[in-house]
Chain A
Amino acid sequence: MSPRLFALIIKEFLALFRDKKSRMAVIVPPILQLLIFGYAATFDLEQAPLAIYNEDEGAFSRDLVSRFERSPAFEVIGYLRSEAEIRPLVDRKDALLVLHVGRQCSADAAKGEGCSVQVLIDGRNSNTAMLALNYVRSIVTDFNEEQIEQTTGTLLPARLAVLAWFNPNLESRWFIVPGIVALLAMIVALVVTALSVAREREAGTFDQLLVTPLQPWEILIGKAMPGLIVGVGEASLIVAVAVYWFRVPLVGDMLTLLPALVIYVLSIIGIGLMISSFSNTLQQALLGSFLFIVPAVTLSGFSTPIANMPDFMQTLTYLNPMRYFLIIVRRVFLEGAGMEYFWQELWPMSLIAVTTLALATWLFRHRMH
């Protein structure tokens, strides 16, 4: 590396980290977001408020109800005595769901006719409603299975033996937290690179830089380095927090993750530099980053599966580097998948990186002034 380029990179780092405010802005919000995200963003149901309206006095229904009482997913907030109590309870959002067991239930069950149990779920948040319904279903299915075997004394003709690979307890935190690595690496690398040129333009230092014998590509590398190092460094820190604080197992190794991470951050830096060369002011750079981040996060599979999106949106996700890195980081974390599994993610991501960096270089030369 030429001493000139080296001095430039040193300068970029000093500019970013000497100032206390800017140091804080780069380090504190991501950590804070990681903690809040890590805890707040969950698709597991925990202690969802459940009200029980059991009109039946039999042991059968008591047995069923006790299954719900014992489940950590639900917390029984009350036992109702009339049907009229149900509606206001749900309307007020005091209960997410109500389990209604009819008067004849135990008797019907004893007759072998089966009793019908009603579950009423507040559908205002359809995601939560689906989750709750799933929990209810699996409790009821387990209950049925045991009841049949008990009452008939015979085994069911066939039974399910379910095993979840990679995440046996199906904790959604194991899914979300590795995703945060991808999310925050993107935000940090993008903001650091997108704002750095705009900041120099506003301070007038960019001209001073351009009249030195530094080549445009040297300036570009100088601008890319902090984003790369901060992005990769912070992502590694988040990996450590995920492993040691959130206790998400890292089955694979960092050696698989690191090259993918570098390619990913490079592709983000290319986008950041493109935003940078388009914006003359910090406000424009900020708005530009914002306009990229919001769709990129939503169309990445970070919180919702890509397979559920309409086709044209699924096609769009192929342009999104985060899509590919999310797959890699999650699979390295939980499956321990090695590099050989990732060629079909790595090549599009590299292509995006090369394209954005090349475009950024081109834009940089043409819009330098």
Chain B
Amino acid sequence: MVHPSATANLSLASASPTAPVLVLDRVDKGFVVEKKRIAALNEVSCAIRPGRVTGLIGPDGAGKTTLMRLCAGLLLPDRGTVRVLGVDVVLEPLAVQAQIGYMPQRFGLYEDLSVRENLDLYADLQGVPAKERSGRYQQLLAMAGLEEFQGRLAGRLSGGMKQKLGLVCTLVRPPRLLLLDEPTVGVDPVSRRELWQIVYHLVESESMSVLLSTAYLDEAERCAEVALIHCGRILGHDKPTNFSQQVAGRTWLIRAPALAKRTLQRQLSRNPAVLDALVLGASVRAVSRDCTPPTLADLSNPSGAEVILAPPRFEDFFVATLKDEAADRKNNRIALAVPGSRRGGDEVIIADNLVRRFGSFYAVDRVSFRVRPGEIFGLLGANGAGKTTTFRMLCGLLPITSGACTVAGLNLRTAAAAARARIGYMAQKFSLYGNLTVQQNLRFFSSAYGLHGGRRRRQIDWALATFDLAPYAATESQNLPLGFKQRLALAVALMHGPEVLFLDEPTSGVDPLARRDFWAQINSLADQGVTVLVTTHFMEEAEYCDRLVIMADGRVLAEGTPEEMKERHGGDLDREATMEDAFIGLLRHHQPMGT
């Protein structure tokens, strides 16, 4: 049974230049996980129009990758039809695959092959004739800024370069339809801009059609059209401005000079009329339930406070639409069982000319900064900028090549092991024991941190209660939903009441809503006197930090408050500079060549 309108479209597909390049008609797709059937896509119907960039936008687990794979013929739909360029993917996958380009989320570059060898492989696989290659290579490599790296092994490229090479490999033979699955994840803003430039160039010069999925909401605004996907359903398909127009008149910028920005944000988000409150520079950006501005009278110190109507963004619509569905996200504040002890006084973390060399490669090159107690301090930079290496040296996980660092007055690498009880650590990737239950993990780590007897029991109870983990106490931690894994990791890092909390990319892979909750928790910890050192590659997360350093190529490019950064490095724009502008400005200055 085929939907009549879809049939009509299909017959035109190959003939008309305006016919959709991709048509999904009532597609269902489910997977069996632990004997339970989970619907990944539910009655999805959608038509992608040619010659433009369509964004597939949704949080993690929404079904973006499944949809992409169905279109590429890598999965079979349970029901419904998928037609690509007029061809049924289920019946003739090879015919479809001959005409499309697909770049999976983790593009399969062969890391032990050089850039050129990877290109040759894909040129062979796509059947590019030998005489056409050199021209095509030159054009693509120039576009990606990779000409000088042809002989380098793909594994030695930076994250952004790898991603660009992946894109170039899918493009060796110009496809008619390009499917890109989260091409910009973990890529620095400069490379991200370049990726977008390449995509736009192709759409214009080769009239390619592009379907691109992303979890970065700000990228929605770069697409010609956006399909919003959530829980396996398409919630809407329109121009991005049409989405944001739906929340026009409900978005505000609020300033209250008498209040700290985090206090202001906290007080605003308690207001039931406010759906979302987000620190942005010195002010707080809020989305209200309706078109009346949020009242400021409830603020603890409203003197000088003002509300300005702000232009709506796609993200506002996204949050406003999805926030209602996640009604149980209330527990945003953590009451520490053992409140942070020290406030004021000396710097808690000192990095002094830190250097880490691997062979001839400087992963961290003369990095210095100081973190004051009770501060949220950020290390901002792209993948491979040296954040994690710096971090590991501070935690004593990696020997220092030269320089010095102390945490709470101690070098953790040489200090007695007991000193490590003063820090809490949350790794980038979920790194608790996956095949142990939540309870077993908590028990083990509390003992490892030297808790015992009644105190240990109380702390475990506290962790289970504070992080809503009690219902999952007997669940194997590998089977927890992503958000709960993150909570468990945070619980483990906090159970022994550390003075300093190290968070390495704590929100990567987490959807925007969960990210907001997480930051609310971190804020509350800082308010109680815990010093937080956090690394992130999300530019907008820098706004949460009291101070931060921006890193690239192992070096610190700048240090200061988010406001100072934007002011100094944002460049001359007619709008208010964003953190991304500041980052790009800095990087340009640092590397005048461009890439």
Contacts and interface: CB of A to CB of B under 8 A. Distances in A.
A7 interface: yes
Interface stretch (A185-193, A212-220, A229-237): A212-220
Return the 8 tightest CB-CB contacts between A and B, nearest first. A7-B447, A204-B431, A212-B448, A211-B425, A11-B444, A19-B435, A213-B417, A213-B420
B433 interface: yes
A150 interface: no
A211 B396 contact: yes
A208 B431 contact: yes
Contact of A214 (B395, B399, B432, B448): B448
A18 interface: yes
Interface string A33-63: 0000000000000000000000000000000
13 contacts: A4-B450, A11-B436, A15-B436, A18-B435, A207-B397, A208-B445, A208-B492, A210-B397, A211-B420, A212-B445, A213-B420, A369-B392, A369-B398
Given A213-B420, A215-B417, A208 B435 contact: no
B443 interface: yes
Nearest to B419: A213
Contacts of A212: 420-421, 445, 448-449
B222 interface: no
Interface string B27-65: 000000000000000000000000000000000000000
B411 to A, nearest CB: 14
A369 B397 contact: yes
Interface in B382-428: 392, 395-399, 417-421, 423, 425, 427-428
A11 B446 CA distance: 12
A274 to B, nearest CB: 20
B448 A209 contact: yes
Contacts of A10: 444
A15 B421 CA distance: 23
A51 to B, nearest CB: 57
A3 B452 contact: yes
A22 B434 CA distance: 13
Nearest to A7: B447
- The majority secondary structure among interface residues of chain A is helix
B595 to A, nearest CB: 31
B435 A15 contact: yes
Interface string B220-243: 000000000000000000000000
A359 B418 CA distance: 25
B496 to A, nearest CB: 9
Contacts of A211: 395-397, 420, 423, 425, 502
A6 interface: yes
A171 B11 CA distance: 81
A8 B444 CA distance: 7
B433 A213 contact: no
Contacts of A22: 435
- A contact residues, range: 20 to 34
B398 A7 contact: no
Contacts of B417: 213-215
- B contact residues, range: 35 or more
Contacts of A205: 431-433
Given A213-B420, A213-B448, 15 more contacts: A3-B452, A6-B447, A7-B444, A7-B447, A7-B448, A8-B444, A11-B433, A14-B433, A204-B431, A207-B425, A207-B427, A210-B396, A211-B397, A369-B392, A369-B397
A213 B434 contact: no
A15 B476 CA distance: 11
A204 B427 contact: yes
Given A205-B432, A369-B397, A369-B398, A11 B449 contact: no
B485 to A, nearest CB: 12
A218 B476 CA distance: 25
Contacts of B568: none
Nearest to B445: A212
B427 to A, nearest CB: 6
Interface string B463-492: 000000000000010000000000000001
A19 B440 CA distance: 14
Contact of B418 (A3, A203, A209, A213): A213
Contact of B436 (A14, A204, A214): A14
Contacts of A204: 427-431
B398 A15 contact: no
B444 to A, nearest CB: 4
A10 to B, nearest CB: 7
Interface in B104-150: none
Contacts of B392: 207, 369
Nearest to A11: B444
Contacts of A208: 425, 427, 431-432, 445, 492
Interface in A54-95: none
Interface in A191-209: 203-205, 207-209
A22 B429 CA distance: 23
A207 B431 contact: yes
A34 B188 CA distance: 56
Nearest to A209: B448
Nearest to B412: A211
A20 to B, nearest CB: 9
A4 B417 CA distance: 12
Nearest to B452: A3
- Most chain A CB neighbours (cut-off 10 Å) among B421, B433, B448, B502: B448
Interface string A269-307: 000000000000000000000000000000000000000
